[in-house]
């Protein structure tokens, strides 16, 4: 029967998710089933491709997400490899709607092998809630394991001010791209509500949160913005790892960082500079 709906595999949000997952795998950020992505969909756009009320089954969330009741998310599946997303989106991705009581996710499409969303989805939802409270246009949360960012965790102090300042010094663009800095959490057990709650608290101040010795969380209004935030931190971390053992002859000074931020009109963390 013709429902009049478009083929969901042609949907821009599915194609963008596939492209992003492939790029993250290609860059070495998401080995095996490491990393996860969630994208909050516009209900009107989603309705062109699926029935928002046509739930296939329900999946418990394990926490109260009632603040997001009725919201629809495209999210990567648990145990799924990013390298396989583009070839088989319907198995490796799912679209869920948060139930009215916020306790369940209603599956609308995907996870066709009987799977479910990533174990980090509750942490994603908590971060979505936190970011929406400060930026109503936030739509994306990405978690990944960028190699140089992770390596930097082992040789640099895990202090938000010091880490952010070092990253800002590595590339002229950094203070412009992430003027709000980078939040840092100590090592915590992943896949739990505790790390999700801690990340969400940081997300009230930062769009980027490092999970020590694990990876990074990024949030943004679009997939490109969020990917670009992580990409820029990773580039800065790579430059740091290439140069940290060598004598420092040149650097971007605090006065120059301030000049950059003010020229580009970004609201930067002034307290993260030594002097302003």
For residues 72 and 152, membership in a common domain is answered with: no
| pLDDT value for 1 | 41
For residues 82 and 216, membership in a common domain is answered with: no
For residues 23 and 142, membership in a common domain is answered with: no
Residue range of the domain that includes 238: 120-276
Question: What tokens were used for 235?
Answer: 């580039």
**CA dihedral (178, 181, 187, 193) positive or negative:** negative
For residues 102 and 188, membership in a common domain is answered with: no
154/162 Cα distance (integer angstroms): 14
State how many domains the chain has: 2
For residues 129 and 47, membership in a common domain is answered with: no
For residues 113 and 124, membership in a common domain is answered with: no
For residues 132 and 37, membership in a common domain is answered with: no
178/269 Cα distance (integer angstroms): 10
264/168 Cα distance (integer angstroms): 15
Q: Which of 104, 120, 231, 234 is catalytic?
A: 120
24/248 Cα distance (integer angstroms): 31
Is the pTM of the predicted complex or chain greater than 0.95?
Answer: no
For residues 55 and 178, membership in a common domain is answered with: no
For residues 111 and 128, membership in a common domain is answered with: no
pLDDT per residue as tens, the chain (276 positions): 445 689 999 999 999 999 999 999 999 999 988 899 999 999 999 999 998 888 899 999 989 999 999 999 999 999 999 999 999 999 999 999 999 999 999 999 999 999 999 999 999 999 999 999 999 999 999 999 999 999 999 999 999 999 999 999 999 999 999 999 999 999 999 888 899 999 999 999 999 999 999 999 999 999 999 999 999 999 999 999 999 999 999 999 999 999 999 999 999 999 999 854
Nearest to residue 214, comparing CAs of 187, 243, 246?
Answer: 187
267/178 Cα distance (integer angstroms): 10
> Which residue, of 118, 152, 172, is where some domain finishes?
118
> Which residue, of 96, 118, 140, is where some domain finishes?
118
For residues 228 and 172, membership in a common domain is answered with: yes
> Which residue, of 66, 96, 118, is where some domain finishes?
118
Question: What tokens were used for 265?
Answer: 């009109």
For residues 44 and 114, membership in a common domain is answered with: yes
For residues 132 and 208, membership in a common domain is answered with: yes
Residue 120 annotated among the catalytic residues of the structure: yes
| pLDDT value for 53 | 85
| pLDDT value for 98 | 96
Residue 23 sits at the vertex; the CA angle it makes with 17 and 26, to the nearest 5 degrees, is 140
Report the CATH number that the domain containing residue 207 is assigned in CATH. Answer: 3.40.225.10
- Looking at 55-155, list the stretches that DSSP marks H as alpha helix, in order from N- to C-terminal side: 89-92, 121-134, 147-153
**CA dihedral (135, 140, 141, 143) positive or negative:** negative
């Amino acid at each position: 029967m013709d429902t009049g709906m478009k083929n969901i595999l042609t949907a821009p949000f599915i194609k963008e998710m596939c492209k992003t997952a492939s790029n993250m795998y290609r860059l070495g950020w998401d080995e095996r089933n490491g990393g996860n992505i969630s994208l909050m969909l516009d209900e009107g756009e989603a309705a062109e491709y699926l029935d928002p009320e046509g739930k296939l089954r329900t999946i418990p969330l394990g926490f109260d997400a009632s603040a997001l009741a009725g919201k629809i998310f495209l999210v990567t599946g648990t145990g799924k490899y990013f390298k396989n997303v583009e070839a088989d989106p319907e198995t490796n991705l799912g679209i869920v709607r948060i139930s009215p009581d916020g306790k369940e996710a209603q599956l609308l499409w995907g996870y066709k092998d009987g799977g479910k969303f990533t174990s980090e989805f509750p942490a994603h939802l908590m971060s979505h809630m936190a970011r929406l409270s400060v930026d109503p246009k936030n739509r994306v949360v990405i978690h990944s394991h960028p190699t140089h960012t992770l390596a930097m965790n082992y040789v640099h102090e895990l202090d938000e001010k010091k880490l952010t300042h070092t990253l800002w010094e590595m590339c002229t663009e950094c203070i412009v791209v992430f003027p709000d800095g980078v939040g840092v959490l100590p090592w915590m057990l992943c896949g739990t509500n505790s790390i999700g709650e801690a990340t969400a608290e940081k997300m009230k101040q930062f769009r980027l949160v490092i999970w020590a010795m694990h990876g990074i969380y990024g949030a943004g209004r679009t997939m490109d913005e969020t990917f670009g935030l992580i990409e820029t931190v990773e580039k800065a971390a790579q430059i740091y790892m290439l140069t940290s053992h060598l004598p420092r002859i040149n650097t971007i000074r605090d006065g120059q960082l301030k000049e950059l931020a003010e020229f580009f009109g970004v609201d930067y963390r002034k307290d993260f500079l030594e002097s302003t």
